[in-house]
Structure 1
Amino acid sequence: MSKAQATRNTKLWRLNVPSKVKNFIWRAAKNVLPTAINLISKRVEITSTCAVCSANEESVLHALIECSFAKSCGFSSPVGFVGCCGSFLGWLEHIFTRCSREDCNIAMMICWRIWIHRNDIIWNDKFGSVQQVLNSAGQLLYQWQVAKKQVYYVDDDVHRLAHGAVSWERPKFGWVKCNVDAAIFESQRRFGLGCVLRNSDGCFLAARCVGRPGMFGAREAEALGIREALSWLKKLQFPCVVVEMDCLQVFQALTEGFSGPNGFGLIIEECRALALSIGEVKFSFVRRSANFAAHTIARAGSSMSDSRVWNLTPPS
């Protein structure tokens, strides 16, 4: 075994995903998945056309990466679409080289869910959407982490919010969703906070950007963003709100009853008090790709001396 192969295998088996997903990726890299082309090579009498797109022959690379449906999943994911790799193994090596460990975990979960979706079409005539495949990948990874005690939650109602989503989803009827993020500008010694509010139809309601001087760690800045968002929501008087964030540490602190004498602990306690004064507030954790609008608003805080609000019409 070459050094490159050994490194790739080590990265594969150290992925923080369920064992069945690791085994699936290993089989895909070995080109032993039962794709149409592989079955025909075993003298199974079937058509070689991809059952999902009906446009090309179904190889492992096509089924998981280059099929139009798989390509859409890639474009909408945190990893993005990576083409022209020649083989699934080449794609895998590229992902392992350029992506963070967490993005690698998500990419492998998405490949696995794309294959499940392909099988649902073939065997159950059941077609899903790109958003369903992406979010089920992120949510199943989160649920597995909960089962492995790598992340925790307090009550079943919090858990049912389908944490870990990769793509933004509308809140249920009668609720609004406020996505929140923070951005740190070290060279300017400033930070920005962004909030985006949308209703159960997915329509934009309002957005707020705050730019402030000061240097904070990522955890503290994200917690300040939640506090700022809750203060804003209290003035808007929405009774049922989902507050969504991509910082797992802050989400855990808010939902696990964390308290502490330091600045972070005090901010979390303020957030809980504000949430109680608003009405029904639920906290949700998602991947950054599902929180992109708030992230973009927060980045605008680098050039703002105070705050700005957009109502009904979103900023460009």
Structure 2
Amino acid sequence: MVFDSEDSSKCAQVFMVCWTIWRARNDLVWNQKYTKVGRIVAEAMQHLTQWNIAQSRWSQASLRPDVEGDGASVWARPLPNKVKVSVDAAVFNDRDAVGFGLIARGTDGRLITAKSIVHPHLVSPVTAEAMAIKEALSWIDDMQWPHVTVESDCLVVVQAIRSKTPMRSHLGGIIEECRRLLTQFHKVSLFFVKRSANMVAHQLARESYDYPGRSFDRCSVPVSIQNCIELDLK
């Protein structure tokens, strides 16, 4: 049997695939919802990665902000000569897509630039959040900003990026890429903030499907996004 000849990580993968097949079978029987084989395997690996994150030593206690600067409930302006990038993701189940909102603001709290991205494949919310952070780090690299603070409201992904836990899955590959990008920057920091401190990026992510692949400046940013920025400045 596979359980006699393989190591524990392989056995865990088999167990997780079996469990995901069982869930897909229930979806078909009770909800008439068909799930493709590739999607079943991808979801199994995502669930396994998330389980490994939850079980790893750095998160044995309940998830909570554990780094100074984490957990802000109100957006704050960056220090002089710094840029703050807020990032969020939205899942569009009815459109089989996910969207990302990236917002860069300066010391005055005003918009420097913003970007909306649509990824035309449906992934889990946690994977979408990890993809959004990877997009933000790549964006920072392209823009060549010297000193940047990145803020996300997904604690699981922020802690996964900070950890050294090996991850063998699609989600794990994205986490590893985020780690690689962060190590090549000298002055880029990643923090967790509460949703209330991330409303501008949250709003842009929700509207990203209407603005795929768009970049915005202060003159072209949608009114709804500008209104959120103004609320942060009050």
Name the TM-score, length of structure 2 as normaliser.
0.65
1:215 aligned to 2:122? yes
1:228 pairs with one of 135, 140, 147: 135
Change (3 A) 1:261 1:246: same
Deviation at 1:152, TM superposition (A): 6.2
1:201 aligned to 2:108? yes
Hey, what does 1:244 align to over in structure 2? Answer: 151
Q: How many residues align structurally? A: 164
- Tell me if the contact between 2:65 and 2:155 (Cα under 8 Å) persists in the aligned partners: no
Hey, what does 1:160 align to over in structure 2? Answer: 68
Question: Where in structure 2 are the equivalents of 1:88-167 lying within 5 Å?
Answer: 149-151=61-63, 159-161=67-69, 163-167=70-74
- Deviating more after overlay: 184-193 vs 251-260: 251-260
Deviation at 1:179, TM superposition (A): 0.4
Matches of 2:64 and 2:200, distance apart in 1: 26
Per-residue displacement from partner, 1:148-206 (whole Å, max 9, x unpaired)? 9323678xxxx222x11111111222221100000001011111100000112212101
Matches of 2:195 and 2:218, distance apart in 1: 24
Code of the residue aligned with 2:109 in structure 1: it is G
1:263 aligned to 2:175? no
- SS of equivalent residue, structure 1 residue 273: helix
- SS of equivalent residue, structure 1 residue 149: coil
Change (3 A) 1:165 1:311: same
Code of the residue aligned with 1:315 in structure 2: it is P
Hey, what does 1:282 align to over in structure 2? Answer: 189
Code of the residue aligned with 1:286 in structure 2: it is V
Hey, what does 1:315 align to over in structure 2? Answer: 222
Deviation at 1:295, TM superposition (A): 0.7
Deviation at 1:237, TM superposition (A): 0.4
1:170 aligned to 2:58? no
- SS of equivalent residue, structure 2 residue 198: helix
Code of the residue aligned with 2:113 in structure 1: it is A
Show structure 2 runs of 5+ residues with no match: 1-57, 224-234
Hey, what does 1:106 align to over in structure 2? Answer: none
Change (3 A) 1:185 1:250: same
- Tell me if the contact between 2:87 and 2:201 (Cα under 8 Å) persists in the aligned partners: yes
Deviation at 1:250, TM superposition (A): 0.5
Question: Where in structure 2 are the equivalents of 1:29-68 lying within 5 Å?
Answer: none
Identity among equivalent positions (%) equals: 37
Q: Report the RMSD for the aligned CA atoms in angstroms.
A: 2.0
Code of the residue aligned with 1:307 in structure 2: it is G
Show structure 1 runs of 5+ residues with no match: 1-145
Matches of 2:74 and 2:159, distance apart in 1: 20
Matches of 1:234 and 1:279, distance apart in 2: 11
Q: Hey, which bits of structure 1, 4+ residues long, moved more than 4 A?
A: none
- SS of equivalent residue, structure 1 residue 234: helix
**Higher RCO (Cα < 8 Å, 6 or more apart):** 2
1:184 pairs with one of 68, 91, 95: 91
Per-residue displacement from partner, 1:32-74 (whole Å, max 9, x unpaired)? xxxxxxxxxxxxxxxxxxxxxxxxxxxxxxxxxxxxxxxxxxx
Matches of 2:82 and 2:165, distance apart in 1: 26
Deviation at 1:207, TM superposition (A): 0.5
